[in-house]
C-alpha cells in the first residue's frame, strides 16, 4: 500500500524568505502526486499535481514541486513566501486508475513571521 | 470553489445516537468521497462512490455507512456514534477517477 511522509510537522519562515516543504512517498509504480493547502476552517485546495512528464511542476500561488523518483520525493517550493501563505500543507499520493483515492501525509503547518 | 455544500457545518451529538452528514454537489461529477481529518493522521478515506448506488469502502470504513440515491447527494451515516468518531469530515468530488479532488468546507462532529 502507498504511504506518504511529511517529516516536518511545523515550519516557521520569515516573509520574503524561500520555502521548501518535504514529502516522501512509498509506492511501487509511477505515482500520481499532489499538494493541497488548507486554511483554518476551510477545505483543502489543490496547489499542483504530478501525473507524468516534466518532473518540475508549476502550481497556483507561485508554488512549484519537483518529482524525484530516485529519492521518492515530491518537495514543494516557493522562492518568496507571503504572509498569506500561512496554512497547513498536505502531500498526497494516488495511483493509476484510482488517482482520486488518495493517501495523505500528516501535514506541515507553515507559520510566516513578518 | 467547486459547488460542494456540506451540512451541517457543526454538530454535537451523544454517544450511541445516529448521525447523518450530507454532501451536495452542483458539478454533476460522478465520483464522491468522504474523508475524516484527525490530528497526526492527515485525511483518511472512509467511503467513496463511483456512481448512483455504487459505493465502496475506504481505509477507515468501520462504523460508517453511505448512500447515494442521486448524483448530487452523498450521505454519510454513523449508525451509533462513538467518541472515536469525533472528527472533521470532508466531502470531496472528482469528475473522473483520474481527476484531482475538490473538497467541501467540512463538518465538525463532536460525540460526547
| Among B11, B64, B8, B16, residue whose Cα is nearest residue B36 | B64
Q: What pLDDT is attached to residue A27?
A: 79
Residues of B in contact with A43 (CB under 8 A): 1, 4, 90, 103-106
- How many angstroms away from the CA of B76 is the closest CA of chain A? 17
C-alpha distances in Å from residue B82, one per residue of A47, A78, A105, B23, B63? 34, 42, 25, 21, 9
Among A51, A96, A101, whose Cβ lies nearest the Cβ of B45?
Answer: A101
pLDDT at residue A104 is higher than 90: yes
Mutation target vs B (from A51, A101, A103, A109; most B CBs, 10 A cutoff): A101
Is residue B90 classed as helix, strand or coil in its secondary structure? strand
**b/e string for A4-24 if b means 16 or more Cβ within 10 A?**
bebeeeeeebeeeeebebbbb
pLDDT level of residue B4 (50, 70, 90 thresholds)? very high
pLDDT level of residue A99 (50, 70, 90 thresholds)? low
What cell numbers appear for B63 in the block? 462504523
Q: Can the peptide bond before residue B8 be classed as cis, meaning omega within 30 degrees of 0?
A: yes
DSSP string, A8-72: -SEEEEETTS-EEE--EEE-SSPEEEEEEEE-TTS-EEEEEEE-SS-SEEE-GGG-EEEEEGGGT
Contact B42 A104 (CB under 8 A): yes
Tens-digit pLDDT profile for residues B10-52 = 999 999 999 999 999 999 999 999 999 998 889 999 999 999 9
Instruction: Give the rounded percent of residues in chain B with a pLDDT score beyond 70.
Output: 98
pLDDT at residue A83 is higher than 90: yes
Contact B100 A49 (CB under 8 A): yes
Which residue is closest to A41 within chain B, CA to CA? B105
Contact A100 B97 (CB under 8 A): yes
Contact A46 B102 (CB under 8 A): yes
pLDDT level of residue A1 (50, 70, 90 thresholds)? confident
Residues of B in contact with A96 (CB under 8 A): 98
Is residue A84 classed as helix, strand or coil in its secondary structure? helix
Amino acid at each position: 500500500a502507498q504511504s506518504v511522509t511529511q517529516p516536518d510537522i511545523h515550519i516557521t519562515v520569515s516573509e520574503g524568505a524561500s520555502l521548501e516543504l518535504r514529502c516522501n512517498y512509498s509506492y511501487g509504480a509511477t505515482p500520481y502526486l499532489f499538494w493541497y493547502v488548507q486554511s483554518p476552517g476551510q477545505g483543502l485546495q489543490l496547489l499542483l499535481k504530478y501525473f507524468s512528464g516534466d518532473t518540475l511542476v508549476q502550481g497556483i500561488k507561485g508554488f512549484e514541486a519537483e518529482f524525484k523518483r530516485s529519492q521518492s520525493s515530491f518537495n514543494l517550493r516557493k522562492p518568496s513566501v507571503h504572509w498569506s501563505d500561512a496554512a497547513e500543507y498536505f502531500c498526497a499520493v494516488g495511483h493509476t486508475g484510482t488517482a482520486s483515492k488518495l493517501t495523505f501525509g500528516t501535514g506541515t503547518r507553515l507559520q510566516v513571521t513578518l | 470553489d467547486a459547488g460542494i455544500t456540506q451540512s451541517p457545518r457543526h454538530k454535537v451529538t451523544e454517544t450511541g445516537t445516529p448521525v447523518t452528514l450530507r454532501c451536495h454537489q452542483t458539478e454533476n461529477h460522478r465520483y464522491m468521497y468522504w474523508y475524516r481529518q484527525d490530528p497526526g493522521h492527515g485525511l483518511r478515506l472512509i467511503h467513496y462512490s463511483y456512481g448512483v448506488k455504487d459505493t465502496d469502502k475506504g481505509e477507515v470504513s468501520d462504523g460508517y455507512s453511505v448512500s447515494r440515491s442521486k448524483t448530487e447527494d452523498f450521505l454519510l451515516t454513523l449508525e451509533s456514534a462513538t467518541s472515536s468518531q469525533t472528527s472533521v469530515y470532508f466531502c470531496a468530488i472528482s469528475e473522473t477517477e483520474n481527476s484531482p479532488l475538490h473538497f467541501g468546507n467540512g463538518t465538525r462532529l463532536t460525540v460526547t
